């Protein structure tokens, strides 16, 4: 039986700013791009969340919800330095750490003997050490799987510590709202609710065949999660699946010609990023377009090298899906999985 921790810094970027300037603690604070640059909110503190502000919300909308919102630009070098100190604490406990971003990670503590092997005590130690050494509050979830540990870390935020022991998994999962399942966004949740499915207990009543018909291959995932099944290991080295470059424009690009004119700059940035990653083998190309009504379309095609002509073709087809002004344009590549790129030996 695995013991998995999911550690998540509470409103991380905002927490660093509030730590360094205590006068920001009790006012609505958000980290994000300016209205003039058509920015979005990266994160916000809890006083701001009381106004309905959330991550990925356009800054203009956030300011309408809370005109007195204190907006600050992101300082990623400073956030990265704090993150490295927190990650170092994780590694003091176990080498099996899978970072998900600057502010969260999975830890497999199944074989850790410190604290008499108690994952709950380990979680408490992580929280205490992070606060003492960095001034940042962690919420930690403890469970037998990654899926449940991540849900648990969000259960009692902020400054939470929630434990789902093995003997309580069945009861916990049965009552769990399907909205909490990993991968279930607003559209999928609406579809599930329309089927009369509100909890995992409800979801268990539907056969796998029907879920596959309604949700494609994600139906298999829904079927497993509704039963608390998640055997994914904590991966110390995360596999990079894609590399991309994109830009949100200060003013909408009015038509296809203007989008085409921006493509060479994006392709150049993409090439630079691929070079930094050691020019990994490529298995496909894609273009991403977000129109001025916020609808998003992504078009993919086969290709083993960065080809401006291929990107232009994909852009033409993607733009035709909306045929309207564009606020965001991106180009990227899908990478060949490391195992596929490895040359087979004589006996394989």
Output the known binding site for Mg(2+). 8, 103
| Residue showing tokens 């180009």 | 331
Helix axes 12-20, 76-93, angle to 10 degrees: 100
Rounded CA separation 36/58 (Å): 11
Instruction: State whether residue 196 is helix, strand or coil.
Output: coil
Catalytic residue, chosen from 36, 68, 98, 104, is: 104
Number of Cβ within 10 Å of residue 319's Cβ equals 22
| Residue showing tokens 């733009």 | 319
Instruction: State whether residue 212 is helix, strand or coil.
Output: helix
Number of Cβ within 10 Å of residue 304's Cβ equals 12
Residue 339, both tokens: 């195992």
Q: From the annotation, which residues make up the binding site?
A: 8, 103
Instruction: State whether residue 6 is helix, strand or coil.
Output: strand
CB 119 within 8 A of CB 14: no
Torsion of CA 105, 106, 112, 114, to 10 degrees: 40
Residues 60, 324, 273: CA angle, nearest 5 degrees: 70
Residues 57, 60, 65: CA angle, nearest 5 degrees: 80
Rounded CA separation 147/153 (Å): 10
Does 309 qualify as catalytic in the annotation?
A: no
- Residues tagged active-site: 104
């Amino acid at each position: 039986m695995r013991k998995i921790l999911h550690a998540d810094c509470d409103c991380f970027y905002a927490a660093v700013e509030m730590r360094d300037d205590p006068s920001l603690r009790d006012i609505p604070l958000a980290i994000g791009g300016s209205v003039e640059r058509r920015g979005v909110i990266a994160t916000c503190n809890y006083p701001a969340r009381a106004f309905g502000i959330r991550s990925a919300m356009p800054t203009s909308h956030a300011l309408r919800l809370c005109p007195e919102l204190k907006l600050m630009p992101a300082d990623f070098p400073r956030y990265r330095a704090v993150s490295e100190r927190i990650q170092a604490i994780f590694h003091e406990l176990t080498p099996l750490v899978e970072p998900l971003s600057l502010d969260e990670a999975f830890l497999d503590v199944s074989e850790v003997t410190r604290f008499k092997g108690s994952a709950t005590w380990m979680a408490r130690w992580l929280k205490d050490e992070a606060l003492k050494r960095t001034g940042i509050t962690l919420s930690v979830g403890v469970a037998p799987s990654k899926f449940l540990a991540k849900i648990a870390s969000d259960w009692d935020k902020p400054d939470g510590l929630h434990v789902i022991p093995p003997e309580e998994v069945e009861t916990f999962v049965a009552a769990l709202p399907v909205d909490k399942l990993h991968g279930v966004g607003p559209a999928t949740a609406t579809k599930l609710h329309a089927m009369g499915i509100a909890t995992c207990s409800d979801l268990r009543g539907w056969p796998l065949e029907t879920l596959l018909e309604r949700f494609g291959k994600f139906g298999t995932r829904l079927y497993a999660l509704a039963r608390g099944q998640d055997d994914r290991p904590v991966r110390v080295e995360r596999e990079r699946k894609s590399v991309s470059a994109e830009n949100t424009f200060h003013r909408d690009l009015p038509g296809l010609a203007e989008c085409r004119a921006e493509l060479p700059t994006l392709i150049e940035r993409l090439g630079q990023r691929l070079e930094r990653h050691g020019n990994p083998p490529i298995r496909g190309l894609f273009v991403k377009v977000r129109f001025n009504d916020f609808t998003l379309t992504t078009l993919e095609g086969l290709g083993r090298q960065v080809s401006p002509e291929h990107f232009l073709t994909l852009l033409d087809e993607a733009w035709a899906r909306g045929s309207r002004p564009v606020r965001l344009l991106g180009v990227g590549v899908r990478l060949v999985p490391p195992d596929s790129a490895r040359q087979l030996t004589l006996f394989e």
